[in-house]
Amino acid sequence: MQEAELPENLPPPVPTSDDHPYAIFRNRDFTFYLLGRLVALFGQQMFAMAIGWELYERTGSALALGLVGLTQMVPMLLFTLPAGHVADNYNRKRVVMWMTTVLAIASVGVAAISVFQAPVYWIYLCLFVGGTARTFMWAANAAFLPALVSRKVFPRAVNWNVSVFYLSSIVGPATAGGIIAWMTRHHSASPAAPIYAINALTSLVFCGFISRVRRQHTVAVKEPMTLQALLTGFKFVYASKIILGILSLDMFAVLLGGATALLPIYAKDILFVGPGGLGVLQAALPMGSLLCVFILNHRPPLQKAGRAMLLAVTVFGLATIGFGFSTWFWFSILMLFTCGAVDNVSVVVRHTLVQMLTPDDKRGRVSAVNNLFISTSNELGGFESGTVAQIFGPAMGHTIVAGAVISVVSGGIGTILVVGAVALIWPEIRRYGKLA
């Protein structure tokens, strides 16, 4: 894991002065970084699909599936503050590489557990180790990206960066499903094991790409790990009205507007399209996001970024309501596709502003707080949707279909109300101008 140190007076990243949407790929460091991310995320999406399949096959328990998210969320809650401190006080590139290596080792552990049919609690231990490494890696990774490109093209870099996540979300699970089906047909006792091995390999390939990045993060003065230093990220976020506002908007919008957790109910009992249709519904949202990536990259930077974000989240809420009421399969796909497209606008604005408005010496800690907001809202959003559906469905003597519709529609309405509240509480957001 050794790499040649470069002098501190390294010239700035390769300029990408023209407005061509693909000019940023002349930047060697960013190109290696993005290719590595694409490979790693592809493996991670395969891993996520396979781990859920194997646990349900071995236990037949829905609780076993729920524990996957909990096992990966606990490290985020425990280690967010230390992860941010490490990202700001140590070489971010090395932190990313070492933590990705730990992820690879954890994935190899899961593969061995699968092959030897060891007790499933060992799987959760590996997931906890991987979740801990991912917490440290995410903070360093998010703070490292701004060093690779100039400020002018950073929004475009963010847009391309999220595009590889959307692409892997579409291709990864489908590939994993195909491998598991093929291995099952050939009577393999552990059909998911090859996928865990592939994930370990893609993690190491990512390390190889990152090792080719010449840019280094140099720490001017290391801070001791005190409580005050650990809380720096939270203090900065609280003091910055724009950052606090956009993180709050995203957190509550995801918490209330997460219809994806209830897609199996819609596929089976509302739209009557079965598992094949469920796969299409799950792919619709990332496909909308991916299309939006190319639209944004072929347009100038957003001139009224704050208003664009508020409008995007409003449309997200409206599309969620439309999906909630829909009983027509293709209209449901359109609504989810729309959700994905406008969600990408929100993601690009949020990630860009968080990094651009944060000084470099605090980026790791603020990025860790941002990751905490995102991760907890994603996990709790699914829990909230399921709980509301259960309460207003079977718990009140209604069908689960009625509960699901109420959950999704009320979540969409709540999202729109959150937009209005954020616009009133933090007027700085709606007044924010050019995203560059």
Kindly list the structural domains of the chain, giving each domain's residue range(s) and its CATH number in brackets, ordered by start.
23-214 (1.20.1250.20), 227-436 (1.20.1250.20)
Rounded CA-CA distance 100/197 in Å is: 14
Instruction: Look at 7-11, 109-113, 244-248, 410-414 and tell me which has the smallest mean pLDDT.
Output: 7-11
Please report the pLDDT score of residue 63 as a whole number: 66
Amino acid at 66: G
Arithmetic mean of pLDDT over the chain: 86
Give the tens place of pLDDT for each residue, 286-313: 999 999 988 988 888 788 989 999 999 9
Q: Is residue 9 predicted with pLDDT exceeding 50? A: no
Pair 256, 415: CB distance under 8 Å: yes
| CA-derived radius of gyration, the chain | 22
Rounded CA-CA distance 199/194 in Å is: 9
Please report how many Cα atoms fall inside a 13 Å half-sphere around the Cα of residue 254, on the Cβ side: 21
Q: Is residue 352 predicted with pLDDT exceeding 80? A: yes
With tokens 């979740």, the residue in question is 131
Rounded CA-CA distance 165/162 in Å is: 5
Please report the pLDDT score of residue 66 as a whole number: 65
Cβ partners under 8 Å of residue 218, min gap 6: 8, 91
Give the tens place of pLDDT for each residue, 150-201: 888 888 888 899 889 889 988 888 888 888 888 988 888 889 999 999 999 9
What is the per-residue burial (b if ≥16 Cβ within 10 Å, else e) of 37-50? bbbbbbbbbbbbbb
Cβ partners under 8 Å of residue 151, min gap 6: 356, 436
Q: Is residue 14 predicted with pLDDT exceeding 60? A: no
Q: What is the mean pLDDT of residues 372-381?
A: 75
Q: Is residue 221 predicted with pLDDT exceeding 70? A: no
**Positive/negative CA dihedral, 29, 32, 36, 39:** positive
Amino acid at 18: D
Question: What DSSP state is assigned to residue 393?
Answer: T
Cβ partners under 8 Å of residue 301, min gap 6: 155, 156, 434, 435, 436
Q: Is residue 132 predicted with pLDDT exceeding 50? A: yes
Please report the pLDDT score of residue 3 as a whole number: 38
Three-class DSSP category at 245: helix
Residues found in the chain: 436
Backbone dihedral angles phi then psi of residue 303, each to the nearest 5 degrees: -85, -25
Q: Is residue 17 predicted with pLDDT exceeding 80? A: no
Please report the pLDDT score of residue 10 as a whole number: 42
Q: Which of 316, 366, 382, 318 is nearest to 345 (CA)?
A: 316
With tokens 């359109």, the residue in question is 334
